[in-house]
Amino acid sequence: MTFTRQELQSLRNQFPVLHQQVNGRDLVYFDNAATSQKPQRVIDCVNHYYSKYNSNIHRGAHSLAAKATDAYEASRQVIADYINAPYETINFVRGVTEGINLVANTWGEANLQEGDEILLTQMEHHANIVPWQMIAERKGAIIKVLPISIDGEWDCSNLNEYINSKTKIVAFNAVSNALGTINPIHLLVDAAHAVGAITVVDGAQSAPHQTIDVDQWNVDFFTFGGHKMYGPTGIGILYGKKELLENMPPWQGGGEMIREVDFAGTTYNDLPFKFEAGTPNIAGVIGLGEAVRFLKETDVSRIATHEVHLLRLAEEGCQTIEGFEIYGKSTNKAGVLSFLIDGCHAYDLGVLLDKMGIATRTGHHCCQPLMKYYGVEGTCRVSFAAYNTEEEVEAFINGLKRAVQMLRG
């Protein structure tokens, strides 16, 4: 069920950045796949930490340190509950990029051997390509790539050609940031586990748009960042199955990840602290916990329904534009519309839309191999969030038509 007009207005009132003009026009923010806006409660939560109980965590005996520690660990618990994971399996990282790098440099470093294979898919973000290329080069492993269909869906017709006894890691996104495709996670998870491989799931785009259940999905690692799901930048989590995390070496050394240090040697801390070296982004963690509470209270399934409703309206309205072409035509999509228009460069469209107060994203969306597959340099992308409206979609369609008219003369 989508939101009523009253519910949607109440939602929008929680986001202060939305209530402004850009280039003399009311802001229409359609760049949510890059980063979402923050509700006042998240902003207040971060400000409250800095203004009322700013302190380092875990190590202090004083009241402010105890209060900060309690808030920090309460966020870990609310996030664990949100994705149906044990508390000790939630590791705080800067975001998805760091989460994937952590796995590559710990599990990958300890387990990969020459000739082993790592399977990626053709729709991956650079953050889920480059770390695997780096570890593969060091260890002599081989990168394989699962192709996709022209509609932007995994081509699993010959999966046994890509997943076999040599496969050790299968890494993929749950939702494509460039196409909006919601991927059938279980297909690759089941195939990977059948040959003893682990799965690493980029959840950057799924966290704000899907109900996440890492236990039901049976994924080995799952990572997401806060800033795409109404939380602060520079904070995210890496979930890993407990037995895997316990057997992985630490990635970074320093405070908190240790139990005892001596010049003769060091013993490492228990989970979840083993992979959290140094003073963390305390305010970011507390803010991320509040963002997750916001998502739970708002109901992520209703948010997703609302976003898909807006997507369908946008697709229908844009189809009337001559030369309009959608990239990503899966029947199961999140609220992402990636497109090109004949005779109009994506960047030019983005600049003209910005002049009308409409924020979009243009370029390759950190998916250059995917763009190469489609034979384009990049696309124009609009992406929706809980606070977007039908009126904004109408403004976008009208603005796009005007931009096309201007570019075509």
Question: Is the bond leading into 369 cis (omega within 30 degrees of zero)?
Answer: no
- Contact criterion met (CB below 8 Å) for 365 and 178: yes
**Residue 3: closest CA among 394, 388, 392:** 388
Distance (Å, whole) CA 224 – CA 95? 6
Helices (H), 83-203: 96-103, 109-111, 130-139, 185-194
- Contact criterion met (CB below 8 Å) for 356 and 23: yes
CB atoms within 10 A of CB 372: 12
Catalytic residue among 45, 318, 344, 366: 366
Active site (annotated) includes residue 45? no
Distance (Å, whole) CA 153 – CA 333? 10
CB atoms within 10 A of CB 47: 13
The string of DSSP codes covering 278-319 is SS--HHHHHHHHHHHHHHHHH-HHHHHHHHHHHHHHHHHHHT
What amino acid positions are annotated as catalytic residues?
366
